[in-house]
Amino acid sequence: MINIHPTSIIYPNVTIEDNVTIGPYCIIGANPEWKGHEEDNKGVIIKSGTIITGFCSIDGGGLHPTYIGNDCYIMKHSHIGHDCIIENGVTISCGAKIGGHSIIGSKTNIGLNAVIHQKLNVPNNCMIGMGAVITKTLKMESYSKYVGNPAKYLKPNK
């Protein structure tokens, strides 16, 4: 069963698998915010078991569909940019922003109001702390915690 709140806007190029919940006032599949590629909308794919709580935006891809994996939990006021790949079991906390072309590895947790610079790869099983700013100069490894602005390695994520 797919449960979409009636106030959400789901563009026609969005593929939603079974067992997905989309809360109020979400905008999913709008044209990519990528100058010169706004009309190259490849859509969004949302896999089974994902919950999107409300007031979230997920832009359509410009090169390939923006992808949300199985069993993700995307909380209020978060944004996922065009061409992102969000792998299985990712939690994106309230207010987090993920720049276009980014890849978020499986079972990673993005903290409240964290910001991920575009075109970055956050490895599997990481914890990104509240308010952290992940910049392109940070070298990241799986099973690690990152905090601060700019973010730095804190300790292993066990």
User: How is 22-90 classified by DSSP, letter by letter?
Assistant: E-TT-EEEEPP-STT-TT----EEE-TT-EE-SS-EEEPPSSS-EEE-TT-EE-TT-EE-TT-EE-TT-
Q: What is the pLDDT of residues 74-89, one digit of tens each?
A: 999 999 999 999 999 9
Structural domain boundaries in the chain: 2-156
Q: Looking at residue 38, what is its pLDDT?
A: 81
Question: pTM for the whole thing?
Answer: 0.97
Q: Looking at residue 36, what is its pLDDT?
A: 87
Which residue positions in the chain have pLDDT lower than 70? none
Q: What is the pLDDT of residues 14-27, one digit of tens each?
A: 999 999 999 999 99
Which of the listed CATH numbers 3.30.70.20, 2.160.10.10, 3.30.930.10, 1.20.1270.360 matches domain 2-156?
A: 2.160.10.10
